[in-house]
Amino acid sequence: MLLNLPLSRSKLDRAAHLRADQSALDELWQRAGIIEMLGDRFLTEGDSLKYLAPSEARGERYFLGLDETGKPFFVCHNKFHENEFPEEFKSLRTIGAQLDDLQIGAAVHALALTQWHEAHQRCAKCGDSTHVTMAGAVRECDSCAASHHPRTDPAIIVLVKDEADRILLGRQKIWPAKRFSTFAGFVEPGESFESCVSREVLEECGGVVSEMRYLGSQPWPFPASIMIAYEAVITNPQTVKADGEEIEEIVWLTREELKQKSSTGELLMPPLISVARAMINNWYGPTAKQDLSGGEAWRS
């Protein structure tokens, strides 16, 4: 059974067939719900996205899709040039856990798309400038006419276990104090997801994977990844150790030990919208939300 991952929820039909129809897009714009972004942050009202009317919207606009009723949604993006964000603009890290299925689908799409556009102003083939086309789904070179499409970097994330059903969590040097999580790493060229799982576990803690199980996938638009989740059993729990490079500390945990360390603040959990937290909660069981309600921390 696959996990119900927080950022994989979406009620938005991306309606790709409309992207090349400018007259249809112009009509949709007039009745759209419009998300405003400043840099990588969203205009909010409380803990929800605030939708603008077309007359209020400013910035580069990209089509996101249609909801179940046919209502269209766009994002308008403005680059951030100041030292501080206005308080009504919040990051997806802050509001993600409170958004409903429609808003989370729109927000994840909007964040990934706007960050890609901001980072790909030049053609990768000839170096000339590019412009937006296909309602934001493509950038086209002004010189050689090459089309460039958004890219997503695949990364595996793995919950390591032993045969006694303990889990192994690790701490990276760059993380806040007491913050532990699962193991993860980017898929290298020519590598399968399964090979990446085995390699990352071996590199980061010396674990030898004997079996693995796919749990699901979730977009992670910070700025452009997708996390492919596995749990894996290793054969050598007694000899694993932190690699000392990326991982500086590891700890084996039973459910009772995790509950105790989380409640006392001895261990900070990954955030609620992360794949890592979903995997840990799934392993822990039905009472995870109540029992593991101690502190949490982002990577940085």
Residues 17 and 93 in one domain: yes
Domain boundary among 62, 97, 119: 119
The answer to the question of residue 299 being in a domain is: no
Residue 235 and residue 9 in contact, taking contact as beta carbons nearer than 8 Å:
no
Give residue 285's domain range: 153-291
Residues 126 and 163 in one domain: no
Residue 150 CA to residue 135 CA, distance in Å, equals: 13
Residues 283 and 157 in one domain: yes
Residues 181 and 234 in one domain: yes
Residues 130 and 201 in one domain: no
Residues 41 and 163 in one domain: no
Helices (H), 6-87: 22-29
The answer to the question of residue 300 being in a domain is: no
Terminal-to-terminal C-alpha distance of the chain: 32
Residues 42 and 105 in one domain: yes
Residues 221 and 246 in one domain: yes
Residue 168 CA to residue 269 CA, distance in Å, equals: 13
* pLDDT at res. 300: 47
For the chain, list residues with pLDDT below 50: 300
The answer to the question of residue 262 being in a domain is: yes
* pLDDT at res. 298: 74
Residues 113 and 128 in one domain: no
Residues 283 and 165 in one domain: yes
If one counts the domains in the chain, the total is 3
* pLDDT at res. 299: 62
* pLDDT at res. 82: 76
* pLDDT at res. 84: 80
Residues 172 and 99 in one domain: no
* pLDDT at res. 265: 92
